[in-house]
Amino acid sequence: MPETPDSLDSALQTLRIDPERKRKGTRRGRSWVRYGVTGLLVVFAAGAFLLRGHLDPMEVEVAVAQRLDPGAPTPVLTAGGYIVPHRKIELAPKITGRVEWIGVEKADRVERGQIVLRIEQREFLAAVDRAEAMLLAARARLKELEAGSRPEEIERARATLEEAHSNVANAALELDRFQRLYAEGAVSRQLLDGAKNRHEVALAQRKAAEQSYEMTRIGPRQEQIDLARAQVREAEAALRAAQIDLDNTLRGPSPPSSPWPISRCWTWRWT
């Protein structure tokens, strides 16, 4: 059956592309092209920057050292900072007390054996004086024992003994008289007992006087002399200990080489 003109127009309308769909497809293709070109430009720019960093040398400021005349003024740079010790040594005295003098400051150089600080010495001076007095007393006692009794002391002991003998004789006569009177009934028993007590006391005093005289005449025993010598040695040791405490000021340690700055190696710790 032959087609009519109207049917042919309808068929052509179905084959025609919609302008809206054509416009949308063209716009999407242009966007992808734009994004691709932008990415390539970024990649090329980054590569050029990195390549330039490797090829171009870094600029460094160079300072030329100059030899200064010893007589010329030297520039001085003043700046703040912290001192970090290379070696740390803790110093602790053997004695405790109040620090009365410090002889160094930070950045000072310390010589071998130099006094760093001193503790208040009044208490230790008094201890030395006391030890010296005790030593003098011990030596005097030893000297007295080694010399023995003096003639005056022996004579005094003899006189005391003779007096004791006389007292015993008098007490014996008194006792004998009271015994006879008591036998006759002339005195009471109480008076007789008193005479007996006085006679016994006189006998005891005579015995003590005899021992004292004998010891004075012979002189001190060897044991007493040995004890006095030991007391002298003890007093000497006490004096040395007191002097050590007095002289026990802190001194710098002995460095292996030249003196070092105190700011690099010293701290103090008191216990």
The tokens for 209 are 């006087």
Q: With bands split at pLDDT 50, 70 and 90, how would you rate the model's confidence at 120? A: confident
Strand partners, 251: 115
Which CATH fold topology does 149-219 show? Helix Hairpins (1.10.287)
- pLDDT at position 114: 77
The residue among 98 and 42 whose pLDDT is bigger is 98
Average pLDDT, the chain: 76
Task: Give the ranges where the chain is alpha helix by DSSP (H).
Answer: 5-15, 19-55, 122-147, 151-184, 189-218, 222-247, 262-265
Q: Are 161 and 210 in contact (CB under 8 A)?
A: yes
pLDDT in tens, 68-112: 666 656 666 676 776 676 776 677 777 777 888 888 887 777 777
Model pTM? Answer: 0.45
Run of H or E residues at 250: strand 250-251
Between CA 149 and CA 159 the distance in angstroms is 15
